Amino acid sequence: MATSATTSAPLIEKHTIGYVPPEDRHGKVRDLFTLWFGGNIAPLPIVTGALGVQLFHLNLVWGIVAILVGHLVGGVLMALHSAQGPQMGIPQMIQSRAQFGSLGALLVVLIAGVMYIGFFASNIVLAGKSLHGVVDSVPVPVGIVIGALGSGIIGIIGYRFIHVLNRIGTWVLGIGIVVGFGYILTHIQTDDFLTRGSFNISGWLATVSLAALWQIAFAPYVSDYSRYLPANVPVAATFWTTYLGSALGSSLSFVFGAVAVLATPVGMDTMDAVKLATGAIGPLMLVLFLLSVISHNALNLYGAVLSLITLVQTFAYRWIPTAKSRAVISIIVLLACCFAAVGASSDFIGHFVDMVLVLLVVLVPWTAINLIDFYAIHKGKYDIDSIFKVDGGIYGRYNPQALLAYAIGIAVQIPFMNTPLYVGPVSAHINGADLSWVVGLLVTSPLYFWLASRDSAYRRRLTSGKLAGSL
């Protein structure tokens, strides 16, 4: 489905966090499949997927089962967020003001911004290593800068260009990873490819959680890439194209990492294992992954910049951010990340994964609250003008019900956590499996629904204007 604006939409995006009016809507719902499929064929999910057999010592079959279960479950939450985009026409983080209030949403916006800056920095490290692997004469720091500049240009151009690149990337990277699978499976270099590792419940649960959390990590910005679609795009269509693209692309990359590690001697770095396992086509695979990192990383920069703009606009409410503002903030983030990444330790990516696991503990309750509020409480009907008011309009500066549910949602996860900062007693009892995200969702969702339902009469009076004088 498309509008007449599809062909006339400017290549350089003019909007930032503001509402996208009907005349500026464009694109087709199938673009969401290519965006999330192509965007997930990349080194970082490959490295993450390999952990199931490297760190958690699963064999190939149980590793694949855990990967599929995690992505299929986590992908549901991610795709439900995506389906909000055409209905709301605004970025995901600023929409959180409708649940938490104009000031109450700041913590979640800040956490999302930090997480995506971390994603961006870790990916430019991977880009630098990939470029060095392709061309030995290019030092890793130089590769980091080149990767950052490529992602920066894409992110500054914005929404439409990101979609165009991922339409191309879906075909190129999709064919590339299938060819890579074929080569590895016909050139296995180990005798224990099918027998290395075994089923263990803690490792299986940990791998499921890792895959599910990979999907949930997209939640704070997934609808940013569907908000330009026409408002009459069916929710089901947005959901399924996003879900299938993300779950399929991510699963392929996770499994590819596991297969490459098992097909090579024990103890190898994952990307070194990929290079060795793919043999003659290894250099080509590294080139494809390098291009993928640069393209996909533009999403992280774009999401981080929108989060930062949302933070600033909360206080500078008279400021109307433009494409120029987005470009300036993008350059500042890019330079800061380059400086940090070039001077980072060799275990930068490992530290980043640790950080994401900590941040996801506070993002999971937000996911539950946002989805319950959108689908069960407001049923997609929001006052967009209030979302942009300094006092939060009908949503206020703080929503006590959301903040209470959010705090409880974080607290109940603590015994089930397994992060570098803290290992909960339940997690320790089951050999380190992190089930905090499951508990967080199961507790926060019904709790917020109960609290918000009790307040629904008040919300209806606000919406109808009967209490407008009290704001």
| Predicted pLDDT of residue 156 | 86
| Predicted pLDDT of residue 351 | 65
Question: Residue 414 domain-assigned?
Answer: no
Query: How far apart are alpha carbons 293 and 301 in whole angstroms?
Result: 12
- Count Cβ neighbours within 10 Å for each residue of 459-469 and write b for 16 or more, e otherwise: beebbeeeeee
| Predicted pLDDT of residue 178 | 93
Question: Residue 65 domain-assigned?
Answer: yes
Q: Which of 361, 83, 87, 82 shows the shortest CA–CA distance to 213?
A: 361
**Helices then strands (H, E): number in the chain?**
21, 0
| Low-confidence residues of the chain: pLDDT under 70 | 1-11, 343-357, 456-471
Question: Residue 413 domain-assigned?
Answer: no
Question: Residue 417 domain-assigned?
Answer: no
Question: Residue 46 domain-assigned?
Answer: yes
| Predicted pLDDT of residue 317 | 74
| Predicted pLDDT of residue 466 | 42
Amino acid at residue number 116: Y
**Taking the chain, what is the end-to-end CA distance rounded to the nearest angstrom?**
40
| Predicted pLDDT of residue 202 | 85
Residue linked to tokens 């209905």: 87
The DSSP line for 102-136 is: TTTTHHHHHHHHHHHHHHHHHHHHHHHHHHHHH-T
Question: Residue 324 domain-assigned?
Answer: yes
The whole domain housing 103 covers 9-346
How buried is residue 408: exposed, middle or buried, by Cβ count under 10 Å (0-12/13-18/19+)?
middle
In this prediction the pTM is 0.87
| Predicted pLDDT of residue 240 | 97
Question: Residue 373 domain-assigned?
Answer: no
Query: How far apart are alpha carbons 91 and 95 in whole angstroms?
Result: 6
| Predicted pLDDT of residue 367 | 94
Name the domain count of the chain: 1
Question: Residue 234 domain-assigned?
Answer: yes
Q: What is the CATH number of the domain that holds 301?
A: 1.10.4160.10
